[in-house]
Structures are given as C-alpha cells and as structure tokens.
Structure 1
Amino acid sequence: MRFSHRQRLLAATGFVAALALTATACDSGDTSASDKPDSAASRTADKDGDGIPDVIADKLQEYGIDVDDWQDGGWKDWDKDKWLSEAKDFVNPVIEDLWDAERMRDAEEPARTLSPQDASVDQGVSDPVPAPVQATPERTPYHENAGPVGKIFFDSPEGSMVCSGTVVSDVNRPGRSNLVWTAGHCVHAGANGGWYRNIVFVPAYNDLGRSEEELAAGTAAEDIAPFGQWWADWAAASDEWIAGGSGEGGAGAAYDYAVLHVKPESGDESLEERVGGALDVDFSGPSATEVDAMGAWGYPAAPPYNGLTMFRCIDRPGRLSLDPSLPTMYRIGCTMTGGSSGGGWFRMADDGEPRLISNTSIGPADDTWLAGPKLGEGAKALYDDMSTSYGGQ
C-alpha cells in the first residue's frame, strides 16, 4: 500500500530531522579494483620527489605514458588504446589547481543513464511507476545538515563532468574514514570505455547555497569547498558495471555502484575527521516492501537545476526489474536530474541512525523517478576489499 500524502509528509519530516542530527556526529558479487600495493609506504613512496607516487608513475610508464605529459594535459588523450579500462588500470595523480571554482561551476552533468520507458521495465517484478516527488532544497549550511554529501568532479571525453557522492564509514579505520560511495558510471564508462580522470570529491560543495550570480561575482574558497578537495587515489567498481554498463544503464545498471578512497591535496587529516562524520552502509539488501521510506540526496545539474544546490527526495520505495536475470532495483518518485547520479540513498535503521542503502543510478527521460541498485553481497565484497586494502591508511 502506498503512503497517503499526510503519512509520507510525516515520515519525510522525521527522517530529514534525524539525518540532520546525525550527519555531523556519526560514530564511525565480484569486485574490481586496481592492483593493491602492499602497504601505505609503498603506495605513497615518491623517490624522485615529483609529487607522483612511484606506484602511479610506474603504472603510467607501463602504458607508455609519460608522467609529466600526463600532468601537462596528456590525460586529455582519450584514444581507445590509451583509455585505461581494466579494473587494475585506475590512475588518478593529483594535478594541483586543476579544479578551480570556475572549472567546477562549468562542469556538466554526465550523459544520464536512462531506463527505457517501454514494456521491458515491467519484466520480472516491478511495481507501478511512482508519482513524482518534487525535490526539496537541503537546508544551509550543508555541513550542518548533510555534511557527508558532496559533489564528484571528473573529466571524460565529453569534457568536465559532475556527479554526487557520500562519505561512508570504514570498519578498518573507525572515525577516520577516507571512503566515498557513488555510482559506477561516475568513475568508469562501462563496456565501451574506461576509467574517468582527475576524479575529486568536494563534500558540502557550495556550503551556503549561493546563487550562480553570487558565485560568478567571486566568493571565498571555503564557501565553494569548505572541507577542501579530495582526490581519488584508488577506485573500485563492480565487474558487472565495467563489463556491461552503458549510457542507457545496460546490463550493469543493477550493479551501478563504486567506492573511492580519497586523499586531501595537503595535510594528513582524514575525510571523516574533516567533515565531522560518515554514514554506515547497509548491505542487507532488504526488499522494497520492507522499507517504509528512503531519501535520495544529490546535486542535480541538468535543467531546471544548475548543480549548485543540494536537493533531496523522500518516498516509499517500489521495485523495478529491468530483466528477470538481474537483481531488482529500488525506485522512488523524484524530480532530480542528471548530476544527482551517485548520490546516496538513506533509510533509518532500527537503532534510529541513517544508513546508506543505495545510490542514484537511472531515471526516465521525463525526470519523474529515480532507481538505485540493491547493495547486497557483491557490494559488500567490493567495500570490504577497499576497506581491507586501505585499513589503517
């Protein structure tokens, strides 16, 4: 049974209030990731002092790419033979000052992964299409109400792009996590491409929700990126997304999730410490029928939005099956557009704390709903691999 309007409103109000109270005060199938160094020392060793860890320099050299050329713009070469695509190929050396305020404002939403609006979406187990839920602006300052939520910037063959992401806790580094949850299509192009480049996470982007005019007139860096920029030095996406993902979702849509390990441009404080909290991930994969309400957070960038404001949608989830052979996805009514991709979906756990349970993956052309993957055993294995590889680092 669907919520009545009044029931949905009450549930949403309580849910949002709980998230606001805990966002800055939280305690803290197959997987794909780059070949892992043995230790923090080997990962960060920089014998020639050029600012590029030797493990990254060696990997670029392996593919015939000069480190200096890469930093000076060689990363713009998207030749298929040089577009690193395999799980082990991820490289993302820091290029200081690349993502200035203007470049971040000009970044566009990626080609949206869309679910086809035909009978195929009703194969398997699908509930009726939900009524649209109008996205609501998050309260400012964002760091006090939804601190773990932020924007992900990256470069693709089409130019600079944006997605959304969430700081999640690290079981092997309690209270000091450097992990960010997002969608697979925000870090890897899927079956027809490879890893995107210059991936950074900016938590609580545009913290005060300033307008485009205000930002264009100039504003302090701490307003745009109150907790700084965090470069991804490791990434993991599902094998299913890498093998079958596409701009239309494809066979990888039900596995469209990824985890980033990030580091600051300077300093040694963890992301969780800097932001003030992180959210646990719920890998139990409950049926949509077992969940009263889910909330999706993100920075929609396609019209009528401009990517500068954080929004949220709250709804009771339904089920969406793209194919009987694929896991059923969650679906909620929501008017957020491209740019919200990768943003976390949250539910209230039995202990009254919010948990990340999914992320925005696909939606229809008319932007009336969103769907996200269930995070089950495969997602947990991906997370565990990342956490174990970087535990204590």
Structure 2
Amino acid sequence: MSPISRPSRAVLGASVAALTMVVATACGPDNSDPANGAQTTAPTVAATGTDKPGAAPIKLPTLDEVKKWKPEDWENWAKTNVITPAVKGYWDLQKILKAKPSKPGPGKQPTGQPTAAPTAQPTAAPTSAAPAQPTTQAPAQPPADGGNDPKPALVQEKPVPHPFAKNFNVNGKLFFMDGNDEYVCSGTVISDPANPGKSNLVWTASHCLHGGKGGKSHTNIVFAPGFNSNGALSGGKQATLAQAEPFGEWGATAGIVSPTWAGEADPENGGPWSQYDFGIIRVANPDGSNKSLEETVGGSVPVWFNAPRDQITAVSSYGYPAGKPFDGMELEHCDAPKPVRTSLDASRPAMLTIGCNGTGGDSGGGWFAMKDGKQVLVSDTSIGGFDNTWEAGPYLDDVAAKALDYISKKTK
C-alpha cells in the first residue's frame, strides 16, 4: 500500500483457522454496534462536526442508519466531514519523495470456520469502459463460518512496464497531510455516472482521506495520475516534477468518506470498520480549464457494486507500494485468482482477500475484475498481512453505491 498517514494499510497474519487481521485505515466516529434492527427512518446528521473548530459534538450514525440514508442525509454527512481544497503548489518533488507509508498496528482475530478457497485465472490489465450498472442483492444472513476462508496463495507484485500503456494512466498516487505529517496512498480514476466521459472522480480508501474515530479529514489532498509513467524516477534516477507527473497534480475540491469508517475506525488497528474502508474525491484540473481528469488521462474505470462473488473470478490490484522492498516509484500489480473472504464482523459483507506481497503505499489502490468483457473496479486496498503475503479490500455494497451517487451529483 502507499505511504500514508497512520492508517496506510491493515495487516493480517495467518492463523490455524483464519487470518489475523491488522488494518491501516483512518476515518471517523461511530457510536454503536449495528448488529440488530435499524430505526425506521434515517437520521439527519447535523451540519457541524469534528472538522470544524469549536463545533458542538454530533450524533454519529450506525451502519443500519446509513443503509437507510437519503440524498439529504449524505449531504449533511459531507458537511460534517469537509475536505478542504488543496493548496496549489504545495507538493513539490522533495515532499513527494519524502512522503512515507504509515505503520499498521495490531488487529483482531476473525471468528468462524474457514471454507475451501476457490481458484481462478488472473485478469488482464485495466481498460477504460462505460459505467457499469449496480446489481442490488437482498441482504444475506451472517455466514455460519464467520465469513472467513483459508489464507490465499501468495502472488508477487510486478511493476507495470515503462512507458505506461494509455489504459494504465487511470492509476495514480494520492498525497495528503495528517496534521504536519506528509503521506501517500494510491487511487483510481473512476467513471462518473452523472458526467459520462468527463469524470473528475478518484476512488481510494477512507483512511487515505480521514483520521478515524474522533479525527478529522486530511488536508492538501492531491492526485497524480500516471505517476512516473515514463520511468523518469525509476532506479534512483533524477527528474523534474513535470517528468514525474505527466498529467500534473489534481487537487481535491470535495469528497465523501465512509460514515462507518469515520464513525468507528481506530487508525492504529484493524476492525469491522475495514469492511467499509472506501472513499471518493472530486478533483480539479491544475491548469484551471474545464478539461476533465478522464479526458486528460484517456479513460476511467466503472465501479461494480454488489458484484456476485461467484462472478469475481479473478482480481488485479494496482498501487504504488513504498515499504521495503519497494520504493514507491513504480506502479505495481498483483494478478490474483478468485478472492477469498475475510471478515471481522460476520454481519457485514466479508472483505475480498488476495495473496499479494504489497506494502505501505498500496492503500486505496484499485482492484479490477471483468464484467461483460470490460474492466471494472470491485474494491480498493485497505489492509494487509504483517508478513506481506496478502491484502484485503471492502466489498462494495449499496452504501458505497449511494456514496458515489451523492458525490457524482454534487456540483460544488
């Protein structure tokens, strides 16, 4: 995963029956366990919160409440977790090279009996495609085995060759500040349902955007698509900022983080919040023009929500790992067979898990699968193993779909 603030990625270690999970994420507050029935109406979140100095405390939503949210509830939530516009020109090459991956803390042991892990063939490289339509499924009962499978077989990350083929430029590095510290994650240009062909949206992990329970939004968030696509910084070579960032730095102007992540997450430890570790930002063209990010890089990746697990036959994860033995300069990928399940709360959708030796800096990087012959995004890197042999990302359900619907329709 990529070098980010305290929550760069989660780590999991193998145990006899399941995986020992540790997460690197960051996000906000949550005040109850949504294991039982939800309220009949969705709460309205007050327009004040931890991101506003001196603001009164707010009642944070439970997962059951979030599932019932209407567009106005998402709007009110966004007002309490404001992503301020990045300071133009803040990130020079020296800061970029010094930005570090966060160190994951200890996690919790999943429960339940494992089932056999299926296998499949790896996917091809990601390509631009038209937005995919969500396929909503009825909620399932918690699995008897706790939602955990045996540890997947290790897949070694491989660098994308230089210069990047055009379709790889949807991947990039995400830089941000947590307090006075500088960190880096990964992200993906996704398709915008409200603006087909002209997306300015980037998918990443919530912990790359927010500091967790009791925390606040990160600052100076920028996205550099196609980072080092020409290999200018590879192998310790010297280069200019323009050479390292052929498409420039796209500063965040707005965004949305997972309410469950923001409400529950301990930024130093893994937990059930990792199962909703996703985030989306809207960015602006650094040259001040109206040319979109999608038009600039030449494509975007649609998001596949509620993807039937038996149809995710293989996954390719992408990111810029910066922890040893990687240096954060290369776009790496793991082409893995069918993902297995990892869960810290069986009442929530189990995370997708693949064998992969990624390290800090991969966080927020996109996971691609095939749908109707086209590449789609099905998850993002959230947590990984202490032994760097696997990574896990959230299963993107209706909550994630509503978050995208909100930020897609938001014009300012």
Q: TM-score, normalised by structure 2?
A: 0.71
The answer to whether the 8 A contact 1:34-1:236 is kept is no
Tell me which residue corresponds to 2:19. Answer: none
1:204 aligns with 2:196: no
Mark the CA change 1:119 to 1:284 in structure 2 (over 3 Å): closer, same or farther.
closer
SS at match of 1:199: strand
Alignment correspondent of 2:248: 228
Deviates more, 1:370-379 or 1:186-195: 186-195
Q: How does 1:72-221 map to 2 (within 5 A)?
A: 88-112=80-104, 115-116=107-108, 124-142=146-164, 144-157=166-179, 159-211=181-233, 214-215=236-237, 217=238, 219-221=239-241
* SS, match of residue 388 in structure 2: coil
In structure 1, how many angstroms separate the alpha carbons of the residues matched to 2:43 and 2:186?
Answer: 21
Q: Which amino acid aligns with 2:316?
A: G
Which region of structure 1 is more displaced relative to structure 2, 304-313 or 104-113? 104-113
Alpha-carbon offset, residue 33 of structure 1: 11
Residues 1:237 and 2:257 aligned together: yes
User: For the Cα contact (< 8 Å) 1:139–1:145, is it kept in 2?
Assistant: no
Is 1:379 matched up with 2:400?
yes
Please say if residues 334 and 356 of structure 2, whose CA atoms lie closer than 8 Å, have aligned partners that are also in contact: yes
SS at match of 1:383: helix
- 8 Å Cα contact 2:78/2:255 also seen in 1: no
Shift of 1:324: 1.7
Equivalent residue number for residue 306 of structure 1 = 327
Consecutive unaligned residues of structure 1, counting only runs of 5 or more, are: 1-28, 36-58, 66-84
Q: Secondary structure at the match of 1:313?
A: strand
Q: Which segment is superposed worse, 360-369 or 92-101? A: 92-101
Identify the range of structure 1 (245-254 vs 374-383) with the bigger mean alpha-carbon deviation. 245-254
Give the Cα–Cα distance (whole angstroms) in 2 for the partners of residues 262 and 242 of structure 1.
21
Shift of 1:90: 1.4
Deviation, structure 1 residue 131: 1.3
Worse overlay, 353-362 or 142-151: 142-151
The residue aligned with 1:338 is 360
Query: 1:280 aligned to 2:272?
Result: no
Equivalent-residue separation in structure 2 for 1:188 and 1:267 (angstroms): 26
Change in Cα spacing, 1:304 to 1:214, as seen in structure 2 (3 Å) is closer
Unaligned stretches of 5+ residues in structure 2: 1-37, 56-76, 115-144
What does residue range 286-325 of structure 1 map to in structure 2 within 5 Å?
286-287=308-309, 289-316=310-337, 317-325=339-347
Q: Equivalent of 1:327, from 314, 327, 349?
A: 349
Partner of 2:382: 361
Is the 1:176–1:271 Cα contact (8 Å) retained in structure 2?
Answer: yes
Residues 119 and 376 of structure 1: CA distance in aligned 2, closer, same or farther (over 3 Å): closer
Partner of residue 251, structure 1: 272
Contact 1:151 1:164 in 2 (8 A): yes
Q: Is the 8 A contact 1:241 1:253 kept in 2?
A: yes
More deviation, 270-279/119-128: 119-128
Q: Following TM superposition, by how much is the alpha carbon of 1:64 offset from its aligned partner in structure 2, in angstroms? A: 7.6
Of structures 1 and 2, the one with the larger relative CO (CA 8 A, separation 6+) is: 2
Cα shift readout 1:189-244 (whole Å, capped 9, x = no counterpart):
111411111000000111123446644x3x23332111010111101011100011
- Aligned counterparts, 1:6-45, within 5 A: none
Contact 1:150 / 1:298 at 8 angstroms: preserved in 2? yes
Greater shift in the superposed pair: 136-145 or 367-376: 136-145
Distance in 2 separating the partners of 1:87 and 1:135: 39
The answer to whether the 8 Å contact 1:32/1:237 transfers is no
User: Structure 2: how far apart are the matches of 1:322 and 1:151?
Assistant: 28
How many pairs are equivalent?
A: 316
2:106 and 2:376 mapped to 1: Cα distance?
26
Quick one: which amino acid aligns to residue 227 of structure 1?
Answer: F
Task: Name the Cα RMSD after superposition.
Answer: 2.9
Which protein has the bigger helix share?
Answer: 1
Q: Is the 8 A contact 1:164 1:342 kept in 2?
A: yes
| Structure 2 CA distance for partners of 1:292 and 1:91, relative to 1, 3 Å | closer
1:186 positional shift = 0.4
Relative distance call for 1:379 and 1:118 in structure 2 (3 A) is: closer
Structure 1: how far apart are the matches of 2:195 and 2:107? 37
Instruction: Rate the CA distance shift 1:242–1:64 in 2: closer, same or farther, 3 A.
Output: closer
Letter in 2 for 1:140: H
Residue 270 (structure 1) aligned with residue 292 (structure 2):
yes
Q: Deviation of residue 250 (structure 1)?
A: 2.3
Please report how far the alpha carbon of residue 142 of structure 1 lies from its aligned counterpart in structure 2 after TM superposition. 2.6
Please tell me whether the aligned partners of residues 32 and 239 of structure 1 are also in contact (alpha carbons under 8 angstroms). Answer: no
Paired position in structure 2 for 1:19: none
Instruction: Percent identity, please.
Output: 38
- 1:329-353 superposed Cα distances (whole Å, 9 cap, x missing partner): 1100000111000000000112x11
The answer to whether the 8 A contact 1:361-1:372 is kept is: yes
TM-superposition CA deviations, 1:348-380 (whole Å, max 9, x none): 112x11000100011111110010111110000
